[in-house]
Homo-oligomer: A and B are copies of this chain.
Amino acid sequence: MSDEQVAAPTNRRRISQRGIATRERILEAANRLMFVRGVNATTLDDVREASQTSKSQLYHHFADKQELVRALVKYRGALVLQRERGGLERLRSFSGLVRWRNALVQANSLNNGRYGCGLGSMAVELSDQDEQARSMLLETFAAWEKLISDGLHRMRDSGALRQDADPEKLATGLMAALQGGYLLANAAHNVAPMEVALDMALEHIKSYLSEPSGEPTR
């Protein structure tokens, strides 16, 4: 029985810089292609061609397509979390949330709403067919939501948000609005629904802001 069940990229086998670069090139190509075509509609030959590698390389770095997809889930998750950390780590005010919203809308509008969220679409495609992928996606969503709820906690601690605001629920609601917005925008080829959805969630959060110069919360 082999002792390298895990998806870890390196395990016992010596690996060179060149090898790492190839692996990266494969993942990067898979990421691009599967983002626009979907996971199941992308073939390994597509990936091979786009990454300028060969079959033997694909199977050298990944046991099979499922492993490649799982690695992609990790890869995308890391990318998204890194990007989101940039936008949310220092979140301390409502206007910061608005800026965050604008950045997402801006990015999605470049595609006219197409393709949706890299994580959300994988969640839909994979949840019913790969339990391991689903659970990794679930963790990633949790981490993402935590970035939001941490920011909301800071806002509550600083008094910007009222005490009766529930950062976790607000974060979940915001994430659902975001994902639903991506989905509708993708179906419409138009960012507008995503904007409306995010604005709803932001207005909802706004309703928990402390009155700027009113009586204390209770």
Contact = CB atoms under 8 A, between A and B. Distances in A.
Question: Secondary structure of the A side of the interface?
Answer: helix
A109 interface: no
Interface residues of A, number: 47
A210 to B, nearest CB: 17
Given A124-B124, A124-B125, A138 B187 contact: yes
Contacts of A173: 177, 196-197, 199-201
A108 interface: no
Interface stretch (A12-20, A56-64, A77-85, A112-120): A112-120
Interface in A159-179: 169-170, 172-173, 175-179
Nearest to A120: B183
Interface in A1-50: 36-38, 40-41
A127 interface: yes
A193 B173 CA distance: 8
